[in-house]
């Protein structure tokens, strides 16, 4: 393969890379995928933990996400709901409280309505996020600043900070209000529907079943454990070098690296100054996802805790006899080792003191050198300053992935959407190059 010439070299075998490979190979192009890991999936990964298959990364899907839903339909995959919570626990203003989920969300309703009140004004076309000429007027604001402007009491403010730190999987001080509004716009301007879309339905056989189905239709070559070190533009196209001293040639390149690790590759010539700046700055997510099996507790619940806790959100995802399996998140990966039963138990007991953790699991995506982030969420000023340029190709070099999506950035849907767009642009580029070659001859 190293001596072969391909039409397209794709860096990364997550949903964006595999979908692009399918789309382009089915058009007759010769495609090679170079994947740094030993598996498909990127930041979606099913692993055997806690006695069952668990999603260590991306998990949930919804019919409001049209691109992933069309793929689920195409391959006839079953979608199942997560358990509906019957109880809610929350810690705010220094006090632990409990009630029903309806009571908790009623507390948050007015504040979220205020936070997202101007969503339709700024995002009239959710899949064309740069349409409004007024975006610059608000893109500088963070979610934290916008919450402060609402004049909330301490309990509601704490809960709002926790909710949006969950959505961004990072601190609200870096969370762009335009990113929050983008999600709301895609959810029919309904924040409770937005929460349902984010974490209520999953593929019965896991995300692995979907990506393997897509890959099975890709007539592409793939090499695993190939860490790309350099992408160089040549007279004939591109040459990619890997850290094991292999070299691959192609007429075009699609890189699906997350924005936080985009600068790990030496591009020759370098990417545009704006792309480099965006990659250096990174995005907002810096948190952790964990799983915990708890003893003698199998009641469906949802829980929120302050943003300075190691875990700020958890809910029951599976029931096994008298025991339950909890999934949850914290906004700072440095504060929780998801593999430590002791750390996870101590953190969960800040939400519900009587929980006993039997096993725990998780993966540090922020510390992972191939991802550097969890799901991508833009900081303030990043939508108007960077998105257009990140989507702009550079003479046969394209960026694809959830980080660069117009719609559901941060989800599988965004990765697939971006792959569709970039596949079309890549095919157009190759047709144009072929026409130029025939003209010269």
Binding site listing? 35-36, 228, 329
Which residues make beta-bridge pairs with 6? Answer: 250
Q: Which has the closest alpha carbon to 65: 235, 206, 193, 209?
A: 193
Q: Distance of CA 388 to CAs 18, 118, 401, 407, Å? A: 23, 22, 14, 13
d(CA 378, CA 175) in angstroms, rounded, equals 7
Residues for the chain: how many in total? 441
Question: Given the DSSP bridges, would you call strands 79-81 and 52-55 parallel, antiparallel or unpaired?
Answer: unpaired
Write out the binding residues for FAD: 35-36, 228
Angle at 378 between CA 374 and CA 382, to 5 degrees: 145
- How many other C-beta atoms can be found within 10 angstroms of the C-beta atom of residue 93? 13
On whether the CB atoms of residues 344 and 357 are closer than 8 A, the answer is yes
Closest by Cα among 307, 302, 311 to 104: 302
DSSP 135: G
Specify binding-site residues for substrate.
329
Tell me the DSSP string of 213-276.
HHHHT---EEESS--EEEEEEETTEEEEEETTS-EEEEEEEEE---GGGGGGSEEESPPPHHHH
Query: Token pair of 177, please?
Result: 């209000």
Instruction: Give the Cβ contact number of residue 319 at 10 Å.
Output: 14
Task: Work out whether the CA dihedral 63, 66, 69, 73 comes out positive or negative.
Answer: positive
């Amino acid at each position: 393969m190293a001596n072969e010439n391909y039409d397209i070299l794709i860096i990364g075998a997550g949903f964006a890379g595999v979908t692009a490979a399918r789309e382009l190979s089915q058009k007759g192009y010769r495609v090679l995928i170079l994947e740094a890991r030993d598996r498909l999936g990127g930041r979606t990964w099913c692993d055997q933990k806690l006695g069952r298959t668990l999603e260590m990364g991306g998990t949930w899907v919804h019919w409001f996400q049209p691109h992933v839903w069309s793929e689920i339909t195409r391959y006839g995959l079953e979608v199942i709901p997560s358990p509906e919570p019957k109880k809610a626990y929350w810690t705010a203003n220094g006090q632990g409280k409990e009630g029903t989920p309806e009571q908790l969300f009623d507390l948050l309703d007015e504040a979220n309505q205020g936070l997202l009140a101007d969503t339709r004004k700024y995002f009239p076309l959710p899949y064309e996020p740069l349409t409004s000429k007024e975006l610059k007027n608000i893109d500088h604001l963070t979610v934290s600043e916008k919450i402060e402007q609402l004049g909330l009491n301490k309990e509601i403010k704490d809960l709002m900070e926790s909710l949006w730190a969950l959505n961004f999987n990072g601190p609200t001080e870096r969370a762009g209000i335009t990113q929050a509004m983008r999600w709301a716009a895609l959810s029919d301007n309904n924040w409770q529907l937005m929460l349902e879309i984010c974490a209520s339905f999953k593929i019965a056989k896991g995300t692995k079943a979907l990506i393997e189905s897509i890959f099975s239709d890709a007539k592409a070559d793939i090499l695993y454990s190939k860490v790309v070190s350099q992408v160089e533009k040549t007279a004939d196209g591109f040459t990619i070098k890997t850290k094991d001293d292999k070299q691959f040639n192609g007429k075009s390149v699609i890189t699906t690296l997350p924005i936080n690790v985009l600068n790990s590759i030496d591009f020759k010539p370098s990417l545009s100054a704006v792309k480099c700046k965006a990659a250096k700055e990174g995005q907002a997510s810096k948190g952790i996802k964990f799983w915990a099996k708890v003893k003698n507790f199998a009641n469906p619940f949802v829980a929120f805790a302050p943003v300075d806790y190691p875990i700020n959100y958890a809910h029951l995802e599976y029931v096994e006899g008298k025991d339950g399996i909890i999934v949850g998140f914290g906004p700072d990966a440095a504060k929780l080792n998801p593999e430590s039963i002791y750390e996870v138990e101590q953190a969960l007991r800040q939400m519900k003191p009587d929980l006993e953790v039997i096993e725990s699991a998780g993966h540090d995506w922020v510390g992972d050198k191939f991802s550097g982030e969890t799901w991508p969420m833009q900081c303030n000023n990043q939508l108007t300053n960077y998105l257009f340029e990140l989507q702009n190709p550079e003479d046969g070099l394209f960026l694809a992935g959830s980080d660069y999506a117009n719609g559901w950035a941060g989800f599988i849907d965004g990765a697939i959407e971006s792959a569709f767009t970039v596949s079309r642009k890549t095919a157009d580029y190759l047709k144009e190059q072929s026409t130029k070659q025939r003209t010269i001859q």
